[in-house]
Amino acid sequence: MIRRIRVYGIVQGVGFRPTVARHAQETQILGSVANKGPYVEIMAQGDEQQLKQFADLIKYASPPRSVILKMDIEDVEHLPYTSFDIIESKHTKGEIYIPPDLAICDDCARELYDPNNRRYLHPFINCTNCGPRLTILEGLPYDRERTSMKEFPMCEQCASEYHDPASRRYDAQPVCCNSCGPHVYILDTDCTDREAIVAARQALASGRIVAIKGIGGFHLACDAFNEQAVTRLRSLKHRPAKPFAVMARDLATAQKIVKVSENAEKVLTGHQKPICLLEKNEDILAKSVAPDNPMLGVMLPYAPLQLLLFKYDDEMTTPSVLVMTSANDSGVPITHNDEEARHDLKQLSDVILSHNRKIRVRCDDSVMSFYHDQPYMIRRSRGYAPLPYILKNDFQGEVLAIGGELKNTFCIGKGKLFYPSSYIGDLSQLASVEVLKNTISLMAELLETKPSVVACDRHPQYNSRLFAESLGRRTIYVQHHYAHIVSCMAENDYDQPVIGVSFDGTGYGDDGTIWGGELMICDYHGYQRVGHIRPFYQIGGDLSAKEGWRNAISMIIENKYLSMDDIISLKLCDEKTLKIMKVMHEKKLNSVLSTSAGRLFDAVSAILGICRRSSFEGEASMALQYAALKGAARQVNIKTDPLQEDGYVLPIENLIAYIVNHRLNNENVNQLAYDFHQALAMMIVKTVLMISRETGISAAALSGGVFQNTLLLEMVKEQLEKNHINVLIHHLIPPNDGGICLGQAVVAMTKLNEERK
Ligand code: ZN
Ligand code: ZN
Ligand code: FE
């Protein structure tokens, strides 16, 4: 009997084929194993029992860095085999796999500190199970000649390991050692190699700021215990309050500063090593690392060079926790070469530790939050991109989706495979558009696609749309919140109609107003908006996105239960400003109608005196959530039934009136923050249940940036499930705008395939 097994997932560049060959030997299976681009194909000949055993071994005893997403097994006719062979990669057109970067593995970390190993303290040690991948790729086929490692010919010993299937460096493109690998240096000095590492360590130990070239770009690092150093970094970076992520020396150190659950430990120590957002323990770090924030972003070293900063043989002690923040302004692409470092980082750092292995694709650190101890992605980039999503739909054709304006990522769809890119940044910055353009052409080349269809957001002023249109191909416009919902559906590989709850910051609505608190019936083919929160005026244009007090005032002016005096009593602004605001509201000057849930959170945060204006995106709404976590469930007297007007309208005016009146009664702010979450969740749940009764649809998808708020997520999900609704949520695709490229791509691909029929 001959069976064809196709294994999808992280199965290339991780030693999958030699492992399969060993399993074949063990179970006496004959046949072959070959890389086929997006999957590994195994031909297996044996009896039923052998074949079952073999398949189990593949599934349950796969190499440590591999991830099996799917196995397709099928009986096939084939000439009998007489041996089991590893077939060398023959490059077949259109079957391309781009591996994500892998954090240093335990074996390499051990060798790194073994004085008898020839890679002792080598800053670029790697193997089949670890090392850079995506970030060093420059072309196809994927071999050393087409990576940044081409400038470093392998020495004889490295070459023999590279060619030996029994070695743990078999077929690992970036393999190198102390004699043939890249070199580190302090930029624009004669200080290199050992001396450079010692100099950087010395700088960190003495409270200075060091720029460090990592896997996907430069970081700025300093001693996370040293208040002076951290404050200085804040003022240099013009970043007054946004939390910094830190890198801890090891797991034990991380456990001191944050609460690490069992699953968080797996992620923290795993091969992707994202920044994990975890609850702080005792606050032993400098106060200004993550001021007034119960959470802290923590990661462990993932590049050997980072390990060496914590531990080296120079008898110096360096800080066990370092601030490790990407070396660029917020939204701007991460700095990735010496020229940029010279230009951007000289003013921001005291020492620049660089190296001569080029970064071809920039890649920021991924940021992961947790929901019920399961990964809940905030930024999907290093370690995950560009791993594809595989849908069950029988799609054909190619699409490019440009993604969101903020937190931009793009997505290439190729048949049923969808490849969301690494994080690009904020496209209102022209530098980001340039990087987007370059990364798209590189990825399209690597995936051998030339999509004739481009999907983008509908917003007429977005650079993402202008860029899409400038490509001169067919453009498909996808409404922002619909894209959010489809991204959530696609991540769950669910293509039946759902009730989409898209609670978000800002998105361009079909009627030209701002949307962001939407309920829509969706499938991959289209959507219908069936509900939304009561529209209000956002006064002050772009400012109203940062200054929650503006929306608060507008919501109070519009509220029939409240008066102008309330605005003054709440100290939202002074009398003079209020007069101006009133005129602006009356005449609709610089004002736009909005259903944005994000702005509602900002407004309530301002009313409660928690955060009047945000110094970074999401500050006010995050602070509101953290306050609510200190409150408790209780009966509140708020009318939460949706009104049937033009579709269902969520009566947030009741909510605002309640919050204002109780705040003016000096009730506990944290409790009111909780009440707000609870009542808003009730409004969502009631509306979804009404839509469900009306349409018979019993599945809901929760997406949009507001669902980064896991308290709201929990309240909505739990109540819906109690009422027998199947609730889809995000896992590894962010609920924020970093995820919408996948939704856009799936919508465009569906349209393309509809037209074919
Ligand atoms: Zn390794
Ligand atoms: Zn070597
Ligand atoms: Fe959005």
At 545-569, the pLDDT tens digits run: 899 999 999 999 999 999 999 999 9
pLDDT at 94: 47
CA of 608 to the centre of ligand 3 (A): 25
What's the 351 CA to ligand 3 centre distance in angstroms? 38
Q: Which residue has the higher pLDDT, 230 or 21?
A: 230
CA of residue 705 to ligand 3 center, whole Å: 6
CA of 127 to the centre of ligand 1 (A): 4
- Average pLDDT of every residue of the chain: 94
Q: Find the ligand nearest to 160 CA.
A: 2
Is residue 89 pLDDT above 70, yes or no?
no
CA–centroid distance, 197 to ligand 2, in Å, is: 20
Q: What is the Å distance from ligand 3's center to 320 Cα?
A: 37
What pLDDT is recorded for position 90? Answer: 57
332 and 237 Cβ atoms separated by less than 8 Å: no
Ligand positioned closest to the Cα atom of 122: 2
Q: What is the pLDDT of residue 334?
A: 87
pLDDT tens digits for range 137-181: 887 666 788 899 999 999 999 999 998 877 889 878 899 999 999
pLDDT tens digits, one per residue of 482-498: 999 999 999 999 999 99
In order, the DSSP letters of 155-198 are PHHHHHHHH-TTSTTTT-TT---TTTS--EEETTSS-BHHHHHH
- Residue 396 Cα to ligand 2 midpoint, Å, equals 44
Q: Which ligand is the nearest neighbour of the Cα of 108? A: 1
Cα 356 to ligand 2 centroid, rounded to whole Å: 16
Long-range CB contact pairs, 584-587, < 8 A, 24+: 584/539, 584/540, 585/537, 585/539, 585/553, 585/554, 585/557, 585/558
Question: If you measure from the C-alpha of residue 140 to the centroid of ligand 3, how many angstroms do you get, rounded to a whole number?
Answer: 35
109 alpha carbon – ligand 2 mean position (Å): 17
Distance CA 117, CA 104 (A): 16
Q: How far is the CA of 162 from the centre of ligand 2 (A)?
A: 10
Quote the ligand 1 centre to 278 CA distance (angstroms).
27
pLDDT band per the 50, 70, 90 thresholds, residue 13: low
* Ligand 2 geometric centre to CA of 139 (Å): 23
* Distance between Cα 109 and ligand 1 center (Å): 7
In angstroms, rounded to a whole number, what is the distance separating the alpha carbons of residues 594 and 609? Answer: 23
Token digits for 218?
A: 């430069």
From the CA of 180, the nearest ligand is 2
CA of 161, nearest ligand number:
2
Q: How confident is the model at residue 97 (pLDDT cuts 50, 70, 90)?
A: low
Residue 29 alpha carbon to ligand 2 centre in Å: 35
Q: Whose atoms come closest to the Cα of 734: which ligand?
A: 3
Ligand showing the shortest atom-to-Cα distance for residue 131:
1
Say which ligand is closest to the CA of 182: 2
List Cβ neighbours of 694 (8 Å cut-off, separation of 6 or more): none
* Residue 599: closest CA among 520, 513, 662: 513
Read off the pLDDT band of 91 (50, 70, 90): low
Confidence of residue 695 (pLDDT cuts 50, 70, 90): very high
Packing angle, helices 619-628 and 597-607, rounded to 10: 70
Ligand nearest to the CA of 107: 1
From the CA of 481, the nearest ligand is 3
Residues with CB under 5 A from ligand 2 (ion): 155, 158, 177, 180
Residue 170's CB is within 10 A of a number of other CB atoms, namely 18
- Asked if the bond preceding 386 is cis, omega within 30° of 0, the reply is yes
Query: At which residue do the structure tokens 């240096």 appear?
Result: 185
**Ligand sitting nearest the alpha carbon of 149:** 2
180 alpha carbon to ligand 2 midpoint, in Å?
4
**What is the percent of the chain with per-residue pLDDT over 70, rounded to a whole number?**
98
pLDDT at 603 over 90: yes
Which ligand is in closest contact with the Cα of 735? Answer: 3
The H-or-E segment that residue 231 falls in is helix 227-237
pLDDT in tens, 401-446: 999 999 999 999 999 999 999 999 999 999 999 999 999 999 998 8
Centre of ligand 2 from the C-alpha of residue 125, in Å: 10
**56 Cα–ligand 2 center, Å:** 37
Over residues 686-692, mean pLDDT: 98
C-alpha distances (whole Å) from 521 to each of 24, 499, 526, 643 are 49, 5, 8, 18
Q: What is the pTM of this model?
A: 0.92
Residues with CB under 5 A from ligand 1 (ion): 105, 108, 127, 129-130
CA 563 to ligand 1 center in whole angstroms? 65
How far is ligand 3, taken at its centre, from the CA of residue 98, in Å?
28
Whole-number Å distance, alpha carbon 405 to ligand 3 midpoint, is 9
Q: How many whole angstroms from 721 Cα to the centroid of ligand 1?
A: 43
Distance from Cα 159 to the centre of ligand 2, integer Å: 7
Whether residue 63 is predicted with pLDDT greater than 90 in this model: the reply is no
Ligand nearest to the CA of 162: 2
Instruction: Calculate how far, in angstroms, residue 171's C-alpha sits from the geometric centre of ligand 1.
Output: 13
Give the integer Cα–Cα distance in Å for 531 and 528.
9
402 alpha carbon to ligand 3 midpoint, in Å? 14
Burial class of residue 229, CB neighbours in 10 A (0-12, 13-18, 19+): buried
**The predicted structure's pLDDT at residue 424:** 95
In angstroms, what is the span from residue 596 Cα to ligand 3's centroid? 10
Task: Compute, in angstroms, the gap from residue 163 CA to the centroid of ligand 2.
Answer: 13
What dihedral do alpha carbons 148, 154, 160, 162 form, nearest 10°? Answer: -10
Rounded to the nearest angstrom, the distance between the alpha carbon of 214 and the centre of ligand 2 is 21
